[in-house]
Structure 1
Amino acid sequence: MKIAVTYEQGQIFQHFGHTEQFKIYEVEDGAVVSAEVVDTMGSGHGALAGFLQAQGVNTLICGGIGGGAQMALAQAGIALYGGVQGSADEAVAALLAGTLSFNPDVHCDHHDHAHGHGDHACGEHGCGHHH
């Protein structure tokens, strides 16, 4: 199994569509056997699902993610654990232990306008909790 995490400086990056790096974990028998950080080479929203599929990824842990990207991941057969914050390594360990806290209804629907501040994280203003 391969698990990808949206990645920035050890933490889960909160905007899937703007992800510049994923940390990809190779898992065998319930344990991580290797991990590497890979650059998306500037792939945007639509191309990221294909990028992950090409890497052999079957599970994604991320922060905020829009509906179109969710559909692309579903079509690629990639399981989604969204709305997650904190350490990438700890999130993978929690997933493998069956204790990962995630939001099955995560949604980030403000991709069409500029945020105006570079340190924005979806989790800070309730994204992922819209109904």
Structure 2
Amino acid sequence: MEYRSQGYKTKKCGQTVLSMITGKSVTEICKLLNKEESTSIIKDLKPFLESNGYDTSYKKVRTFEDIPNNSIVLLEFPDESLNGHFTLKVDNEFYDPSVGVISTYNKETRLPHSYLNFKKNPLKD
């Protein structure tokens, strides 16, 4: 997995995790989604992956330990209850478009809300 940054003060975390998964550029993902900023895990990320040959499953979760590898994770910030942030879990590390590759999150700062597990389907290539 190649880490990519969402850019300073942007809201392109969803587009950036899709970029890391598919290898497409963030600019191309924005054009394909027709969204330059905020995205939805259900309305944008899930359908995008499925239309690009991935099988997906969406689940709600409350602990980091319950998140499997190959998942897009929606994080909540206690001080910003209406906003979320997408990060990617691969090989037991989090590829966070805003801060880099990290092993764990400060549990007081970020809480997992849900995840979208994905797997490339060779029959959909």
> One fold, TM greater than 0.5?
no
Give the structure-2-normalised TM-score: 0.32
Give the structure-1-normalised TM-score: 0.31
Name the structure, 1 or 2, with higher relative contact order (CA <8 Å, separation 6+): 2
More strand by share: 2
